[in-house]
């Protein structure tokens, strides 16, 4: 409905139906809102095309009438034609008769309209309908004004919100879409001394804070408190409670640079460095900034969190086993009774092609940054 109201405002502007004050206000909004400005440009283009088409049709019609007149008066020769053009000949032959019939029909229509008008004046219910119509127009105008005010407010808010200069960056992913809880590494969250920011793939930034940090398991739970963060659908993956299978194909999504990066590999060992059972070993590559990336199995299960790599060795990466996420959530609830962390999952990745899985996952993976 709001889009219809916005289109109505654009039409009023293009047709010159706005008051001078509304026009000035609308022009300011166009300067600050590219979406609104594009709508005005497209509407003007559409009207120009329609006017151009109408002018062409009228010109062709005038030429045809001149040709027909000259042919009838013997000034030019016009060969006999078949098909639709016979309609023109019939029109020239019987147009006087048709004109008389049209005149009679017009008189009858005027008479019927007069009768209906006289009856309507005696029916007070028509006045009520007219009042309702006026009220509806007033409500519609108010809705348009609110829409324009909201667009202006959003534009101003976006302009006033400064982008922070971060001193570090890592990765995290959403696990609770109702209360906006995100999982990352403890060593990522602890880098923030003053400010912790979560940034999505579009570059939108949201303030967050750590509600739970476990240095031993290297897991942290963050919560986005920013009211401008829009709620997402349930997470499309399941958190696996069992260990990953040896040789299982996996992929990761993280932020080693300003855009989301895809990596793939396989589980090369069931345990981590020095047989640490909290971790599993992956055969893949990863760069700084990938800490906290989700590790997804071929069937769409989350099997771990990327955390570190073997020094001086290529292709040996370690991930925290996913079961530790569930343990961290239970401990966070014991520490803070107000920590309402609930995993709401709708496993949609199973059976999808890899590129389709990635497209769904991208919205749930974030850059974690701060200073």
265 close to 368: Cβ distance less than 8 angstroms = no
Q: What is the pLDDT of residue 307?
A: 95
Specify the pLDDT at position 24: 83
Average pLDDT for residues 66-92, to the nearest whole number? 58
Top-confidence range, 68-77, 83-92, 135-144, 317-326: 317-326
- CA atoms within a 13 Å half-sphere pointing along the CA-CB vector of 192: 25
Per-residue pLDDT band at 221 (split at 50, 70, 90): very high
Q: Higher pLDDT residue, 41 or 228?
A: 228
Return all residues near 364 (Cβ < 8 A) that are at least 6 apart.
173, 174, 232, 235, 236, 294
DSSP string, 64-114: HHHHHHHHHTTSS------GGGHHHHHHHHHHHHHHHHHHHHHHHHHHHHH
Confidence of residue 157 (pLDDT cuts 50, 70, 90): low
Q: Which of 290, 279, 222, 287 is nearest to 253 (CA)?
A: 290
Among 72-86, 137-151, 222-236, the range scoring the smallest mean pLDDT is 72-86
3-state secondary structure of 236: coil
Q: What's domain 167-371's architecture?
A: Beta Barrel (2.40)
Domain map (residue ranges) of the chain: 2-78+123-159, 167-371
Helix, strand or coil, per DSSP, at residue 36: helix
> Comparing 101 with 206, which gets the higher pLDDT?
206
Confidence of residue 1 (pLDDT cuts 50, 70, 90): very low
Examine the pLDDT at 368 and tell me if it is beyond 80. yes
> Cα(172)–Cα(304) distance, rounded to whole angstroms?
12
The answer to whether the predicted template modeling score (pTM) of the entire model surpasses 0.85 is no
Position 31 scores a pLDDT of: 81
pLDDT at 12: 81
Residue 108: its pLDDT value, please? 39
Query: How much is the pLDDT for 92?
Result: 57
215: number of Cβ within 10 Å = 12
Distance CA 323, CA 329 (A): 10
**Contact between 185 and 307 (Cβ < 8 Å):** yes
Res 80 pLDDT > 60: no
Q: Using alpha carbons only, how large is the chain's radius of gyration in Å?
A: 34
Confidence check: pLDDT of 102 > 60:
no
Quote the pLDDT of residue 79. Answer: 53
pLDDT score, position 359: 96
Q: What is the mean pLDDT of the chain?
A: 80
Q: Residue 255 in contact with residue 171, Cβ under 8 Å? A: yes
Best mean pLDDT range from 19-23, 77-81, 256-260, 337-341: 256-260
pLDDT of residue 277: 95
Q: Mind listing the pLDDT tens digit for each residue in 159-177?
A: 445 577 788 999 999 999 9
Q: Taking 70 as the threshold, does the pLDDT of residue 83 lie above it?
A: no
What pLDDT shows up at residue 254?
Answer: 96
* Phi, psi for 183 (deg, rounded to 5): -100, 135
Q: Is residue 354 classed exposed, middle or buried when 0-12, 13-18 and 19+ CB atoms within 10 A define those classes?
A: middle
- Tens-digit pLDDT profile for residues 337-357: 778 898 888 889 999 999 999
Q: How confident is the model at residue 107 (pLDDT cuts 50, 70, 90)?
A: very low
Predicted local confidence at residue 132, as pLDDT: 36
Q: For residue 349, what pLDDT is reported?
A: 94
What does 260-305 look like in DSSP terms, one character per residue? -EEEEEEEEESS-GGG-TTEEEEES---TT-TT-EEEETTSEEEEE
End-to-end CA distance of the chain: 42
Q: What is the CB neighbour count within 10 angstroms for residue 240?
A: 19
Q: Tell me the average pLDDT across 133-157.
A: 64
The answer to which of 100-109, 200-209, 297-306 has the lowest mean pLDDT is 100-109
CA 153 distance to own-chain centroid: 19
| Least confident piece of the model among 120-129, 312-321, 342-351 | 120-129
Give percent of the chain with pLDDT exceeding 70. Answer: 75
pLDDT above 80 for 224: yes
pLDDT value at residue 104: 47
Residue 301 tokens read as 């299960």
């Amino acid at each position: 409905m709001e889009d219809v109201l916005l289109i109505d405002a654009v039409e009023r502007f293009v047709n010159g139906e706005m008051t001078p004050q509304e026009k000035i206000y609308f022009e300011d909004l166009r300067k600050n809102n590219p979406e609104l400005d594009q709508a005005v440009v497209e509407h003007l283009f559409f009207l120009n095309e329609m006017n151009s088409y109408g002018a062409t049709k009228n010109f062709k019609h005038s030429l045809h009438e001149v040709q027909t007149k000259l042919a009838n008066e013997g000034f030019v020769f016009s060969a006999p034609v078949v098909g639709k053009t016979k309609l023109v000949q019939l029109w020239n032959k019987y147009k006087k008769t048709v004109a008389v019939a049209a005149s009679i029909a017009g008189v009858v229509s005027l008479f019927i309209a007069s009768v209906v008008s006289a009856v309507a004046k005696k029916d007070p219910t028509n006045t009520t309908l007219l009042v309702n119509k006026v009220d509806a127009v007033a409500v519609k105008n108010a809705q348009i004004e609110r829409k324009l005010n909201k667009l202006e407010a959003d534009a101003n808010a976006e302009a006033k919100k400064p982008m922070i200069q971060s001193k570090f960056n890592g990765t995290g992913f959403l696990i609770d879409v109702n209360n906006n809880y995100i999982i990352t590494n403890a060593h990522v969250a602890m880098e923030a001394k003053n400010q912790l920011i979560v940034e999505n793939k579009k570059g939108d930034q949201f303030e967050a804070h750590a509600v739970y940090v476990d240095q031993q398991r290297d897991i942290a739970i963050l919560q986005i408190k920013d009211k401008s963060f829009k709620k997402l659908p349930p997470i499309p993956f399941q958190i696996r409670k069992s260990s990953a299978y040896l040789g299982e194909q996996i992929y990761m999504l993280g932020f080693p640079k300003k855009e989301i990066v895809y990596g793939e590999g396989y589980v090369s060992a069931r345990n981590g460095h020095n047989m640490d059972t909290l971790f599993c070993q992956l055969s893949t590559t990863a760069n700084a900034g990938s800490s906290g990336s989700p590790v997804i199995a071929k069937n769409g299960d989350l099997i771990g969190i990327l955390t570190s790599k073997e020094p001086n060795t290529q292709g040996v990466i370690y991930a925290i086993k996913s079961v530790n996420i569930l343990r961290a959530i239970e401990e966070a609830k014991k520490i803070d009774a107000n920590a309402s962390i609930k995993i709401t999952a709708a496993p949609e990745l199973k059976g999808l092609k890899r590129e389709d899985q990635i497209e769904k996952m991208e919205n749930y993976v974030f850059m974690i940054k701060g200073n």
